[in-house]
A = this chain, B = another copy of it.
Amino acid sequence: MTRTIRLALAATGLAAIASLATAQAFEPQKAQELRESHMKLMGAHIGILGGMAKGEVEYDAATAAAAAETLSALASAAAAGDLYWVEGSSSDALEESRALPAIWDKTEEFESGQTKLVEAAMTMQDAAGTDLAALQGAMGALGKACGDCHETFRQPEEE
């Protein structure tokens, strides 16, 4: 049921993107900063899970479950209302931005990527508290959801 609702939220958010042209909620610079904060939060929680998956940190069911729950809610938040991707906040427009113009050019693919992240995070949410093997099993799809989207839509870090 959580799954259905999260996906419904994601779908609603996608509709919101279309409306941004007429009603931009955040100034481009602020949108860029907020996106970075949001990514940092998701990265920190994925980091906990990744550390356990790789055996760098001892597996702890409660901590893993907590990290996965927050991650899932953050992924859902990023996809839900989605006021972050305003015009004028791409890497072409802002020096600090690594958001490629493709985000605005390939909207459907971008939205599909967001949905995949929400799904992978929900799968992790179901798995993380079970045991280490389950966590490891859910890590691949989660990493792929992150990586696929970054590959297409995020500017590589400068050397």
* Residues of A near any B CB (own CB < 8 A): 1-2, 5, 9, 12-13, 15-16, 19, 22-23, 25-26, 30, 34, 37-38, 40-41, 44-45, 48, 60, 62-63, 65-74, 76-78, 80-83
Contact = CB atoms under 8 A, between A and B. Distances in A.
Given A19-B63, A40-B34, A74 B71 contact: no
B70 A82 contact: yes
B73 A25 contact: no
A41 B38 contact: yes
Given A25-B48, A34-B41, A37-B40, A16 B83 contact: no
A37 B45 contact: no
B37 A41 contact: yes
A50 to B, nearest CB: 12
14 contacts: A19-B63, A23-B63, A25-B48, A26-B44, A26-B48, A34-B41, A37-B40, A38-B41, A65-B81, A66-B83, A67-B81, A70-B77, A70-B80, A73-B77
Contacts of A23: 60, 62-63
